[in-house]
Amino acid sequence: MTAPAPAAGMTRSEFLSSVDRAPNLAYSVGHLTAAWGQLALMIGLLSVLPEGWPWKLAAVLGMGWTQYRIYFPLHEAAHQTLFRSAAANRIAGRLCAALLFSSFENFTRIHMEHHRSWGSADDPGSMDYLVHFRSRWHQVAFFGSPLLGGQLLVKLWENLGEPLLAAASGRGAERTRRVGAGGRIPPVDLAWLAGVQGGLFVAISGLGARPLDYVWGYLLPGATVFLFLARLRMYLEHGPVDYAVSDYAGDNARRIARTHRSNLLERPLFSYMNFRLHYEHHLFPSLPSVRLPEVYRRFTSRRLHPDDFSRSYLHTLRRIARLP
């Protein structure tokens, strides 16, 4: 499998020595505040939601999108690039991970393995893009299955079940090889998870008066809409759009990390913290995302492989639709 070609001209080390590698406090706080503020707004809206299934459906979609937005500062904290302080990254990461039913330490291990093995079956996220569509129905089932809970058990096992079993049994060799040393959830992360989800239950259910509101208003969006958006984004970033150019199941397999120029309509809905510059992120994973536009402008612009660039997410979706 071929890797993306290095950019011409300046070497990676030369570019890194010329760019500011420090996080930007205003940028990070702004994104955290926006994500957490959106969550607070959604919780408030749930308490005054009118009766009727259309309102509940809108709330499920809105909460799933909110959970999706929380992923981005979590991702930045996992790279230790949200703040300068490791402790600040850890605190923000643990809160974001707990909001998304996960452990920060376990999420970080899994994500670092993604960076080591993306484009191969060893990537823990490969289930979301390592696919060759045989038909239109296969494509619809692949993208639609998260909306029916098709990924729920897999994600629960990967993020909670497997590490807890490894801790209980004292065995975790296979997981250690796959996602880093240990493969277990530290007790402090479990405490964060229990505390944060307990607080959400109290806030959403009205001190326990409406327990089902927490189920359909928070658990259901996380198990469906959030996982759907995560799968869609992962495929847009790493999935083939032309089997003649790249096909993970064929002889012409090449690793894809697709940058989307995108536009002002897409970015506020789908791509936060410069995640659209995904080739640049995989090229320099230790750089804060606030620096990625400079990477694109000075280092990768006009040098990307055509399969690693798209003018918009909508354009990529149209190309995916023509695959089967």
pLDDT in tens, 133-157: 999 999 999 999 999 987 777 776 6
Instruction: Considering only residues 8 and 131, tell me which one the structure prediction assigns the higher pLDDT.
Output: 131
Average pLDDT over residues 15-42: 96
Prediction pTM value: 0.89
Token pair in block for residue 261? 């120029």
d(CA 68, CA 55): 20
Q: What is the pLDDT of residue 173?
A: 43
Length of the chain: 324
Q: What does the domain layout of the chain look like in residue ranges?
A: 23-321
- Angle (nearest 5°) at CA 128 between 124 and 130: 85
Q: Is residue 171 pLDDT above 80, yes or no?
A: no
Residue 324 has a CB neighbour count (10 Å cut-off) of 13
- Please, which residues have CB within 8 angstroms of residue 207's CB and are 6 or more apart in sequence? none
Q: What is the pLDDT of residue 303?
A: 86
Q: What is the pLDDT of residue 251?
A: 79
Confidence of residue 169 (pLDDT cuts 50, 70, 90): low
Q: What is the pLDDT of residue 26?
A: 98
Q: What is the pLDDT of residue 13?
A: 87
Q: Is residue 161 pLDDT above 80, yes or no?
A: no
pLDDT digits (tens, 9 = 90+) for 231-244: 999 999 999 999 99
pLDDT digits (tens, 9 = 90+) for 267-309: 999 999 999 999 999 999 999 999 999 999 999 998 899 999 9
pLDDT digits (tens, 9 = 90+) for 213-228: 999 999 999 999 999 9
Q: What is the pLDDT of residue 170?
A: 60
Q: Give yes or no for a contact between 254 and 241, defined as CB atoms under 8 angstroms apart.
A: no
Confidence of residue 125 (pLDDT cuts 50, 70, 90): very high
Average pLDDT over residues 89-109: 96
Token pair in block for residue 52? 């009727």
Stretch among 5-9, 101-105, 263-267 having the lowest mean pLDDT: 5-9
- Please give the mean pLDDT across all residues of the chain: 90
Chain CA centroid to CA 166, Å: 24
- Please, which residues have CB within 8 angstroms of residue 38's CB and are 6 or more apart in sequence? 66, 69
Q: What is the pLDDT of residue 159?
A: 64
d(CA 217, CA 62): 10
Q: What is the pLDDT of residue 182?
A: 42
SS3 of the chain: the string is CECCCCCCCCCHHHHHHHCCCCCCHHHHHHHHHHHHHHHHHHHHHHHCCCCCHHHHHHHHHHHHHHHHHHHHHHHHHHCCCCCCCHHHHHHHHHHHHHHCCCCHHHHHHHHHHHHHHCCCCCCCCHHHCCCCCCCHHHHHHHHHHHHHCCCHHHHHHHHHHHHHHHHHHCCCHHHHHHHCCCCCCCHHHHHHHHHHHHHHHHHHHCCCCCHHHHHHHHHHHHHCHHHHHHHHHHHHHHCCCCCCCCCCCCCCCECCCCEECCCCCCHHHHCCCCCCEHHHHHHCCCCCHHHHHHHHHHHHCCCCCHHHEECCHHHHHHHHHCCC
Q: What is the pLDDT of residue 172?
A: 47
Strand-pairing partners, residue 14, are none
Q: Is residue 168 pLDDT above 80, yes or no?
A: no
